[in-house]
Amino acid sequence: MKITFLGAAGEVTGSQHLIETDSRRILLDCGLFQGRSEETRPKNEKFHCVPRKLDAVILSHAHIDHSGNLPGLVKAGFEGPIFCTRATADIASMMLRDSAKIQKEDAKYHAKKAAPGEPVFEALYTEEHAREVAKLFEYVRVGAWETLGDDVRLRFHHAGHILGAAITELELLDEGEWKRLVFTGDLGRRDQPLLHDPATVERADVVITESTYGNRVHPNSADVKSELQRIICAASTKRGKVIIPAFSLGRTQMIVYLLNELRNEDALCRVPVYIDSPLATRLTDVYRDHQEDMDEDVKETLKYDDDIFEFDGLTYIQSHDESIALNKRPGPFVVISASGMCENGRVVHHLKHTVSDPNSTILIIGFQAAGTLGRQLVERREHVYIHGRRIPLNATVETINGLSAHADAEDLKWWFDELQKKGGCGQAFIVHGENSGATALAELINDCCDVPPIIPQYGESFEV
Ligand SMILES: [Zn+2]
């Protein structure tokens, strides 16, 4: 069996790994490389496999760095099945159309800004290609073996990362011998709201594992609900606003669910809450359709509350005008809006109208990359820059760090310890991490593997 690492190798985006046996060519994930377009464009445009010769794609989850180049693959001739969970298919259909739309807008913007003679980039693919992808999805139930022929079978397990995310277990017949390969996809944390804990697996000949936070330990997530309660009630007493920048996928739904829990417990002060992101609203509808895929706590709540994403005083904002109208509305109220790093989207105008108000609060609930407005807020600068304007930062800035969707070093160690109890692994390949995370994980899991783990580089192939 040959494995070629075509993305998320030595970095965190562009997840794509090609598995070849004597009879099969299967691609694990087909993600988009994200970052500076001069670097990512060539990698996103050229496939190192021959798309029309692939037998299948297995999609671990719907995040764009794992699914975002599926329309490009279809554009390049792929017509085979894409195996994933039903929730992943529903979310990815939405995310990929959105990705095509963003690319179209970006291309238009760059064409307008380009100097004469400067090359202009077209979108990598169109909404039509994204729709073609949706026709190729084949649902696989979590926990059930799916036979893809006499020589391959596949089983998904809960990954605990976002709704629908799966760990892939593959059994492949190669040169007369069955081999077991496990791909973690993105592994989540234990005890996260809404989601099942990541499942553990039995001995595998090969494990391809993510390593995003292989060198970090996250704070405990247990206090998130009480922190939310404290922060919102404090702002409410001052009649201020609480602005929560949040990713449309995953983070928004977790916060709404926790607020709904607080409301059910009658523990949250009665302030209006607005979700102001059209994509987050559509994705919440998908989450609502998959409430049965969520953890035991959700099942308990559903016995007396038929909608965990709805409570009195919660409004999903639709139009741009309604969104703008919130700027004139006096507090107290809460706005949850995208983007998560405050770089674009509707949250920017909410922040512009809030950061100078000493009675209001900005609540940061996710990682803020260097250079983003979110990072300026987390660092509590005296002034922040929004749309080119220098605005004093008088609002309170609070951060809640317990909501990471990725396993940390302790979670990863636990997952591999469980694997070791069930036989360990032959060869581990460490992907989806910066060098520091990957090397730290290699040390952590060394004892679980028959031979030292390998950190592959982009384009490298291995016979196993
Ligand atoms: Zn992910």
Segment 138-161 mean pLDDT: 96
pLDDT per residue as tens digits for the range 358-412: 999 999 998 888 888 999 999 999 999 998 899 999 999 999 988 889 999 999 9
Distance 424 CA to ligand 1 centre (A): 25
Judge if 247 and 157 occupy the same domain. Answer: no
- Cα of 13 vs centre of ligand 1, distance in Å, is 9
Mean pLDDT computed over 5-24 = 94
**Residue 111 and residue 175 in one domain:** yes
Task: Tell me how far the alpha carbon of residue 250 lies from the centroid of ligand 1, in angstroms.
Answer: 10
Q: Compute the distance from residue 63 Cα to the ligand 1 centre, in Å.
A: 5
Spacing, Cα 358 to ligand 1 middle (Å): 36
Same domain, 9 and 63: yes
Shared domain check, 417 and 358:
no
pLDDT tens, residue by residue, 321-356: 999 999 999 999 999 999 888 988 899 999 999 999
- Cα(129) to ligand 1 centroid in Å equals 22
For residue 115, name the pLDDT band (cuts at 50, 70, 90).
Answer: confident
The answer on pLDDT for 222 being more than 70 is no
Do 200 and 287 lie in one domain? The reply is: no
> 38-42, 228-232, 310-314, 443-447: which has the minimum mean pLDDT?
38-42
**pTM higher than 0.85, yes or no?**
yes
Check residue 367 and give its pLDDT.
82
The dihedral region occupied by 193, where left means phi > 0, alpha psi between -120 and 50, and beta the remainder, is beta
> Read out DSSP for 274-292?
EEE-HHHHHHHHHHHHTGG
* Cβ partners under 8 Å of residue 175, min gap 6: 21, 22
Residues 156-208: tens digit of each pLDDT:
999 999 999 999 999 999 999 999 999 999 999 998 999 999 999 999 999 99
Q: 12 CA distance to ligand 1 centroid (A)?
A: 10
pLDDT at 294 over 90: yes
Kindly give the distance from the C-alpha atom of residue 66 to the centroid of ligand 1, in angstroms, as a whole number: 7
Ligand 1 centroid to residue 60 C-alpha, Å: 9
Could you tell me the distance, in angstroms and rounded to a whole number, from the CA of residue 67 to the centre of ligand 1?
A: 9
Domain of 452, in residue numbers:
2-216+405-463
Pick 121 or 21 by higher pLDDT.
21
Residue burial 399-415, b: 16+ Cβ < 10 Å; e: rest: ebbbbbbbbbbebbbeb
- What pLDDT score does 340 carry? 86
Residues 374 and 271 in one domain: yes
Q: 406 C-alpha to center of ligand 1: Å?
A: 8
Whole-angstrom distance, CA of residue 452 vs CA of residue 440: 13
Can you tell me the distance from the alpha carbon of 431 to that of 85, in angstroms, rounded to the nearest whole number?
22
Q: Which two structure tokens, joined as six digits, stand for 168?
A: 């892939």
CATH code (residue 47): 3.60.15.10
The CA distance from 376 to 360, in Å, is 17
CA diameter of the chain: 71
Give the pLDDT of residue 221. Answer: 66
Confidence check: pLDDT of 67 > 80:
yes
For residue 434, the CA-to-ligand 1 centroid distance in Å is 15
State whether 198 and 324 are in the same domain: no
The pLDDT assigned to 412 comes to 97
List, for residues 423-432, the tens digit of each pLDDT value: 999 999 999 9
Domain boundary among 399, 421, 455: 399
CATH number at 283 reads 3.40.50.10890
Of 399, 414, 438, the residue at which a domain comes to its end is 399
β partners of residue 429: 208, 454
Q: What is the mean pLDDT of the chain?
A: 94
Tell me: do 29 and 159 sit in the same domain: yes
Gap from CA of 126 to ligand 1 centroid (Å) = 23
Asked if 420 and 380 sit in the same domain, the reply is no
- Which of 358, 381, 399 terminates a domain? The answer is 399
| Alpha carbon of 329 to ligand 1 centroid (Å) | 36
114 C-alpha vs ligand 1 centroid, how far in Å? 33
So what's the pLDDT on residue 27?
98
**Domains contained in the chain, number:** 2
**How much distance in Å is there from the Cα of 16 to the middle of ligand 1?**
13
pLDDT at 73: 98
Q: Are 207 and 429 in contact (CB under 8 A)?
A: yes
Do 359 and 324 lie in one domain? The reply is yes
Q: What confidence score (pLDDT) does residue 122 get?
A: 87
114 shares its domain with 17: yes
Average pLDDT over residues 12-22: 95
Q: Are residues 356 and 449 in the same domain?
A: no
